[in-house]
Amino acid sequence: MTQVAIITGAASGIGRALAVAYARAGIRTVAGTFPGDPHDPQQTVEAVREAGGECVVHEVDVRDPEQVDALARRAIDEWGRLDIAVANAGVLREAPLAELTDAAWDDMLSVDLTGVLRTLRSAAARMADGGSMVAVSSIAGGVYGWGEHAHYAAAKAGVLGLCRSLAVELAPRGIRVNTVIPGYIVTPQSLDPVNSLGPDGLAKAGKDIPLGRAGEPAEAAAVIRFLTSADASYVTGQTVVVDGGLTVRMPT
């Protein structure tokens, strides 16, 4: 029977690339998209259709548990099952420590950490035994620290512990839970010159990567696709870094 996946943050970047990868594998997708996202989720639908797949868009704010529950229910209502959940939604905001208010901290964690919990919790309640989940962390927090982004890094570091614990808890049901840490990937988020590196910074960063460039969304999506496939049937509780070798290069 055809598998069904939910993906948060699917309007662009890694989320969109993953929906296309699933389409090519014959997996149907519910593309979770934030209403305030400036990227058109219909472009994800069109890309999926061009790849021969099926995709429906569902608006969701991962800060709202009821909306997250509705996303998981949409998979059941649309196609009668839920096999895969990918928590990919995230925000990125620069904030020096002196300007990092409690409200900014709480909002960041509500999306980038608690939003992951809500997504995986809701999916687990509706997922058939033997399903799989992946959460997307970041090289910032997952591996490195990042000045003026302490709230972001803290959230992304927390994702690792969350997924390891859920991997243990859900293993009796045969549900696997893994984490992917993207390095420098060319996405709308990393191309933001205000809160992230921007085009020039991303190009400069590519020179420090052993493979000599920043990664493409499809390259990160391919790893997620593997981790949620039968080929990774004995892989759970793991963290896979997709960074072109950046974190293993000895500083010079």
**Known catalytic membership, residue 184:** no
The answer to whether position 110 is within a domain reads yes
The answer to whether position 137 is within a domain reads yes
Tens digits of residue pLDDT in 72-121: 999 999 999 999 999 999 999 999 999 999 999 999 999 999 999 999 99
The predicted structure's pLDDT at residue 251: 78
Residue tagged active-site, from 22, 144, 152, 234: 152
Q: What is the helix (H) or strand (E) element at residue 43, kind and residue range?
A: helix 41-50
* Domain range enclosing 147: 4-242
Give the DSSP letter of residue 38: S
The predicted structure's pLDDT at residue 83: 98
Exposed/middle/buried for 221, CB within 10 Å: 0-12, 13-18, 19+? buried
What value does the mean pLDDT take over residues 137-147? 96
The predicted structure's pLDDT at residue 77: 98
Q: How many CB atoms lie within 10 A of CB 21?
A: 25
Does residue 195 register a pLDDT over 80? no
Who has greater pLDDT, 135 or 197? 135
Tens digits of residue pLDDT in 165-182: 999 999 999 999 999 999
Q: How many CB atoms lie within 10 A of CB 113?
A: 25
Dist CA 192 CA 251 (whole Å):
27
Does residue 154 register a pLDDT over 80? yes
Confidence grade of residue 252 (pLDDT, cut at 50, 70, 90):
confident
Does residue 192 register a pLDDT over 80? no
Tell me, what amino acid is at 52? Answer: G
The answer to whether position 248 is within a domain reads no
Confirm if 36 and 50 have CB atoms less than 8 A apart.
no
The answer to whether position 250 is within a domain reads no
The predicted structure's pLDDT at residue 94: 93
The answer to whether position 187 is within a domain reads yes
The set of residues, in sequence order, having a beta carbon less than 8 Å from that of 5 and lying 6+ positions away, is 22, 27, 28, 29, 30, 75, 82, 83, 84, 85, 86, 228
| Nearest in space to 214 (alpha carbons), one of 193, 180, 181, 243 | 243
What value does the mean pLDDT take over residues 207-216? 93
What percent of the chain has pLDDT above 90?
Answer: 87
What value does the mean pLDDT take over residues 222-230? 98
Confidence grade of residue 205 (pLDDT, cut at 50, 70, 90):
confident
Does residue 193 register a pLDDT over 80? no
Exposed/middle/buried for 52, CB within 10 Å: 0-12, 13-18, 19+? exposed
The set of residues, in sequence order, having a beta carbon less than 8 Å from that of 76 and lying 6+ positions away, is 82, 126
What value does the mean pLDDT take over residues 137-154? 97
Confidence grade of residue 204 (pLDDT, cut at 50, 70, 90):
confident
The whole-model pTM stands at 0.96
The answer to whether position 249 is within a domain reads no
The answer to whether position 139 is within a domain reads yes
Residues in the chain: 252
Residue 124 exposure: Cα atoms within 13 Å on the Cβ side: 21
Give whichever of 36-40, 61-65, 247-251 has the largest mean pLDDT. Answer: 61-65
Tens digits of residue pLDDT in 44-81: 999 999 999 999 999 999 999 999 999 999 999 999 99
Q: How many domains does the chain divide into?
A: 1
Pick left, alpha or beta for residue 26 (phi over 0 → left; psi -120 to 50 → alpha; otherwise beta): left
The set of residues, in sequence order, having a beta carbon less than 8 Å from that of 138 and lying 6+ positions away, is 90, 152, 153, 156, 181, 182
Per DSSP, helices labelled H in 131-246 are 139-142, 150-170, 198-206, 217-227
CATH number of the domain at 71, please.
Answer: 3.40.50.720
Structure tokens at 216: 């493409």
Confirm if 242 and 219 have CB atoms less than 8 A apart.
yes
Confirm if 197 and 225 have CB atoms less than 8 A apart.
no
The answer to whether position 252 is within a domain reads no
